[in-house]
A and B are shown apart, each in its own frame.
Chain A
């Protein structure tokens, strides 16, 4: 898959870079795309039909570039003024209707071809019917984090989306219903599909059917305020078994562990409950991410930091440390209080 992406990019560079070979070097030099969300490494139907379309368009535009650019370069070279020239003026040519007509008609034909091909893919992706087996997820964009609701499964989680893998034999696409709680955002995981915006008061839909398991990264692609850059997205494509286990676990209420009662008490008496929900406790806020299964996530704060004890501590002490401008306030707690809070949070598997 990665190989493919790298090769794709080198191919693309060909038509585009004739004029400036300078830039070709960096492509080879591009640091190992461990998790590079390249649009040329698709893993889902919408993304790969877009890729196929893009090869076609690249071929045509590349052809136009080579032809027109070639003629231009040739003209410049051939008709340069030379030392040996006398100072007579060259023959004056004012135009030609036939030529003019030719270079109007040919582009029209090209446009027709491009348009028809494009239209076909638009309808194929956008108007694809939703199969019975499809998984429904409602995505709500917040300044600067993602809320994922699985309405039929009764799950609410944040920032890390889990979906089942989908194969030709056992199709299991995921249909996303996109909403926004505040401003415009955009859901973009390049390897799975093109982006679609999350706009308040204007629900949108899109779908993916990932064919390989693994982690796919992306991020919010519509400027949405201070921390737009750190509104990252992680999509885990699970095997059906993994997915079922994950679902079962997410449907449990929050863990009750008496050894961390102190932390839980702080959580419930400080303002945390105004913004966060932990199922099975008094915390029912919805302004911030649902923390019921915080420990099932690899990152916190929409991918701004890894989910470790130290990072949790730093985050609660001062969210601006990772994400200056994030909408969670620093709660002015003492070090011990935060330690106890973190101890409690880390039990929320």
Chain B
């Protein structure tokens, strides 16, 4: 991640030397005060991966506790803290940070800009998010405040009122939850604004909106969606804090307040939030699948339209998380329909990906393997989503392990898979070295197998009536063996992730040198050296099509002839 441009021949001193204290401090200082979008992108991703390990370890604790009925690995309180922190961390500190990290690193490079629109806002946003993460984890130490030590939030990531009221959640754990997410939320808001301004106002010459790489489009749509989804959560959490600190009654059912209103507010945030997470992941797939199929993306305008469509529809479906709270039958029917409608633009995406592969010459490098896994898993996850949206069936499936299976299929099977794909794909650009393909294959296959053992099986314990959020279960319900299998799968995933972490570290030092364009790709970032210099492009690029490097490599048959 050197900041200098290409080294001048002979000027490199290759003799290993020890860094002095001052040099280390200066290096650290450089990272802390940086406003470079690439360094901030790296910070985001590294930060996210660290939290992936933390939240993954929490998942392991959950799985050990549930491996057998009547286990005493975790106390009930600790179990509840574990799943709350696992969910909250994964969503806000892993998914959001890694994906926004990708955006930070890639959006300016892909549109031929030298930095984000507001570099200092960018740094501010990152540190807000980082601080939010530290704050929520500090609750493990400070949660009880003066009453004693050690309590994290234990109210679930949806934190339903009135369980979060002072009466039912004394101490400060819930306050940390709300405060930390408000802080991190402002960071996210800043980044979203920044990405929108960058994508709209910083494009290089010739990069019209309909020539932007799909990743940039997806980030633009995601950021726009973020503006109106993170903010309702912030508003609701301010209300929660008003209740808890100032004695307000928003969600105080004793004083006429409503618990259902909290649910609405939370899911008005929570549902679009899952698309905020999945759309950048789509963006990654949109970049990788064409390159490894050696074909242009099929139906670019339809892909753009579908993304915008998903964003719009996703704002009107939130109450499919609330089919059991006793809405009117008409209300239920409405949300069934709106939810199912999301399947249509999403289907368009899936079909376009299949069509992109169709007729190609598929190279099975690790990034592509993860993307292919994503395609299958997302198809299944989407279909289980449709099952959940069938309100009467949802009355059975709601809050059962079937739901847990559905959303891990998307969150892990789609998003984490694509995050891995993206890391394998862009790591060479970022560090100048390739990740080990051998370790990559081990990582992929182990993770795939572990994933399916864990999350396929979860559907069935769900059918057998196992509810979520329980720290233990009765031995006579027929869930014992299945849970044991789920736990084994979890461990296999854990091993795979450890291999991945090891690959990241060792390839940084020993990986094969990558060169500018190791995958023979087509977007602008591959025209820069790896790692790119501080100002990205020596001269401002000019583009004429969606695949500027294709034009460059095939001057006899450039893209702009065919793009309408």
Contact = CB atoms under 8 A, between A and B. Distances in A.
Q: When A and B assemble into the complex, do they touch directly, with CB atoms less than 8 Å apart? A: yes
Interface of A: 9, 12-13, 16-17, 19-20, 22-23, 26-27, 29-40, 46-47, 49-50, 53-54, 57-58, 61, 64-65, 68-69, 71-72, 75-76, 79-81, 85, 89-96, 99-100, 103-104, 107-108, 111, 114-115, 118-119, 121-123, 125-127, 143, 178, 182-184, 186, 188, 190, 193-197, 199-202, 204-205, 217-230, 232, 303, 324-325
B376 A72 contact: yes
14 contacts: A31-B480, A33-B464, A36-B478, A37-B464, A38-B465, A57-B390, A75-B357, A76-B357, A126-B329, A183-B163, A184-B162, A218-B465, A225-B80, A230-B472
A221 B390 contact: no
A18 to B, nearest CB: 9
Interface string B284-297: 00000000011110
B321 to A, nearest CB: 12
A22 B326 contact: no
Contacts of B453: 20, 22-23
A46 B391 CA distance: 12
B507 interface: no
A33 B477 contact: yes
Nearest to A222: B399
B348 A79 contact: no
Interface in B439-487: 449, 452-453, 456-457, 459-460, 463-465, 467-474, 476-482, 485
Contact of A75 (B258, B332, B358, B459): B358
A188 B113 CA distance: 56
Contacts of A26: 457, 460, 481-482, 485
Contacts of B372: 76
Contact of A31 (B293, B379, B398, B481): B481
SS class, residues of chain B in contact with chain A? helix
Nearest to A126: B329
Contacts of B326: 178, 196-197, 199, 202, 204-205
Contacts of B482: 26, 30
Given A54-B387, A75-B354, A69 B258 contact: no
B25 interface: no
Interface stretch (B115-123, B134-142, B337-345, B417-425): B337-345
A111 B344 contact: yes
B257 interface: yes
Contact of A200 (B162, B478, B563): B162
Contact of A79 (B253, B300, B360): B360
SS class, residues of chain A in contact with chain B? mixed
Given A30-B482, A38-B478, 16 more contacts: A35-B478, A36-B464, A36-B479, A54-B390, A54-B393, A75-B357, A79-B358, A118-B391, A126-B332, A183-B160, A184-B163, A196-B395, A199-B259, A223-B469, A224-B163, A324-B77
A33 B480 CA distance: 10
A199 B453 CA distance: 36
Given A22-B449, A186-B399, A36 B465 contact: yes
Nearest to A143: B168
Contacts of B350: 68
B483 to A, nearest CB: 10
Interface in B324-369: 324-326, 329, 332-333, 336-337, 340-341, 343-344, 347-348, 350-352, 354-355, 357-364
A126 B392 CA distance: 9
Contacts of A99: 299, 355
B476 A221 contact: no
Contacts of A61: 383-384, 386-387
B438 to A, nearest CB: 19
Interface of B: 75-77, 80, 154-156, 160, 162-163, 168, 253-254, 256-260, 293-296, 298-302, 324-326, 329, 332-333, 336-337, 340-341, 343-344, 347-348, 350-352, 354-355, 357-364, 372, 375-376, 379-380, 383-384, 386-387, 390-400, 449, 452-453, 456-457, 459-460, 463-465, 467-474, 476-482, 485, 554, 559, 562-563
B329 A127 contact: yes
B295 A93 contact: yes
A38 to B, nearest CB: 5
Closest 5 CB pairs between A and B?
A194-B395, A36-B478, A37-B465, A33-B478, A229-B470
B463 A23 contact: no
A175 B525 CA distance: 64
A108 B372 CA distance: 26
Nearest to A62: B383
B295 A92 contact: yes
A29 B253 contact: no
Contacts of B333: 115, 118-119, 122-123
B271 to A, nearest CB: 18
A37 B466 CA distance: 8
Contact of A100 (B155, B162, B295, B302): B302
A70 to B, nearest CB: 10
Contacts, number: 320
A201 B159 CA distance: 18
A39 B480 contact: no
A19 B395 CA distance: 27
A82 to B, nearest CB: 8
Given A9-B463, A16-B459, A34-B476, A118 B357 contact: no
A19 B298 contact: no
A308 B41 CA distance: 62
A41 to B, nearest CB: 9
Contacts of A205: 326
B357 A79 contact: yes
Nearest to B255: A201
A186 B324 contact: yes
Given A16-B459, A201-B259, A30 B481 contact: yes
Given A35-B476, A182-B168, A68 B379 contact: yes
Contact of B336 (A118, A222, A324): A118
A327 to B, nearest CB: 11
A103 B383 contact: no
B331 to A, nearest CB: 10
B293 A79 contact: yes
Contacts of B399: 186, 188, 195, 221-223
A274 B554 CA distance: 86
B362 A19 contact: no
B160 A223 contact: yes
A273 B162 CA distance: 28
A22 B482 CA distance: 12
B386 A107 contact: no
B348 A85 contact: no
Contacts of B383: 61, 64-65
Given A26-B481, A58-B387, A197-B326, A94 B296 contact: yes
Given A91-B359, A221-B400, A53 B393 contact: yes
A118 B341 CA distance: 14
Given A61-B386, A221-B467, A325-B76, A184 B259 contact: yes
Contacts of A195: 324, 395-396, 398-399
B257 A229 contact: no
